[in-house]
Structure formats: C-alpha cells, structure tokens
Chains A and B, each alone.
Chain A
C-alpha cells in the first residue's frame, strides 16, 4: 500500500475543532474521494469532511475531534491518502508519483531509473539516473519513451542520436 501526501494541517479554525489544511493538490476542489486520510505511517485514520475554504486552504472537520484544544495537537501533521484514491488518468497521462523510481530499459537492458519529473513550460521532462551514475534529461515524448508500463514499473527508452554519441 503506497501513501501519498495530500496536505498538511497548518492551523485550527474556530472552537469546534475545524482544521485548516494546506492542500498539496493541483486543483483544490479535488477533495472528494480522498477519505480516509491517514498519518505518515498509516496508523492514525481520519474521516474528514470539507466544511469550507479559507484563501488557499481547506477547512476540514475530522470525525471525533470536536474542540479546538484537541485539534491544536495535530498542527503540522501531514495527511496522506492511498494511491488508489486518486482519480484515474487519461490515456498518455501519468501521475508523477507513479513515474518516479520506475526502471528505464534500453533494448531490454537496464539503463537507469527515473529520478524526477520536471516541467519548465515546454512539456514534461524525465530526469534519469543511469546505472553508470550520470544524470540526463529527456522530453517525455513517444519518440523517446515508446513504451510506458506503470503496472510492471518499466519504461522503454530510445535515445536520440546525439545523446547516444554523448553517452559513448
């Protein structure tokens, strides 16, 4: 079971135990379907209800927490959800959390690992660490990565001609 950080309790709101949560989501309105929320280890479970918004934060009421003093004990806590709770992606779309750490293969030989996904406004870029220890960036395109198999955690790579020469 993989957990993903979806927000952090930054403060409390009012006297009824409502918490102010800073979301780590692209779209703030995607609160639905995240329940149950957990802590980092997945031991503590929270049944959260969205009661409102305040600037860039959610106002969340947790089941069983009804007073401000109890709520204050959770300040700074990061909230996690199961990976399965995230909505399904479209074709040719992948969650960053699914891509990071995936093994990269070149002609069925291990080439490296995806280190991170970058975007500077010109499409997504995969940063790859090769087994020799070099780091390289490549556009996340069909030409460079013809086969992306998230289920088996495998990505096929076809290096551009100029990069082949550079890596020799």
Chain B
C-alpha cells in the first residue's frame, strides 16, 4: 500500500535540520546521515549528503532528477563487481 498523499513525503526531522543549517551557512560541507529511508526533497538540491550503507558513508550529490527518491537508493549495501567499460566517462559536476 502506498503512502497517503495527505501525510506528505517522509524525511527524518534531524536530517531536515542539518540540511537547513548547512544551506544557511553556505559552507563546503557534507551532511552525514544514517537515514536511508528519508525522501529527497527539492530543498536538498545542490547539497552533498554522505549516506551510510552499513559499512561506510557514500557521497550523494543531490540533483533535480533525484527528487522523490530515497537516500538509500544511491548507497548500495552490496558490492557488485563488473568489468569497467573501456570508454566509461566521469562527468565533473558544477
């Protein structure tokens, strides 16, 4: 059963507080979180969170197309090893 719309998206309160604090300070900082269940809100765009995967903290740079997803989706808990493509490119975000 899906979550009722009237409740709004779920975000841990302390995460919301941390995000507001970092946004207001404008410091070059990552927000450490264990809250994999929290939904990514439009307010989080541009911020970097480090999400715990049970082993270490994975950096998650929030972009617009991630809104509505959960943080846990971007920090996998299991290792998947595959051959890296020869022409795989990395894009440097602004």
Residues of A within 8 A of B (CB): 4-6, 24-27, 30, 81, 86-87, 89, 92-97, 99, 117, 119-126, 137-143, 145, 148, 158, 160-163
Query: A26-B85, A95-B88, A141-B93 given as contacts; is B30 within 8 A of A160 (CB)?
Result: yes
A140 to B73, CA, bound (A): 19
A120 x B28 contact (CB < 8 A):
no
Residues of B within 8 A of A (CB): 27-30, 32, 48, 56-63, 66, 73-76, 83-94
A4 to B89, CA, bound (A): 14
B1 CB to nearest A CB, Å: 26
Residues of B within 8 A of A117 (CB): 84, 88, 90
A99 to B90, CA, bound (A): 9
Number of A-B residue pairs at CB separation under 8 A: 111
A104 to B75, CA, bound (A): 24
Residues of A within 8 A of B29 (CB): 160-162
Residues of B within 8 A of A27 (CB): 87
B65 CB to nearest A CB, Å: 10
Residues of B within 8 A of A139 (CB): 48, 59-61, 93
Contacts A25-B87, A117-B90, A161-B29 known; 17 new A-B pairs at CB < 8 A: A4-B86, A92-B92, A92-B94, A93-B89, A93-B90, A94-B90, A96-B84, A96-B88, A123-B61, A123-B63, A124-B92, A137-B56, A137-B58, A141-B93, A160-B29, A160-B30, A163-B30
The 8 Å CB contact of B87, one of A26, A123, A126, A163, is A26
B75 x A120 contact (CB < 8 A):
yes
B42 CB to nearest A CB, Å: 16
Residue of B nearest to A89 (CB): B89
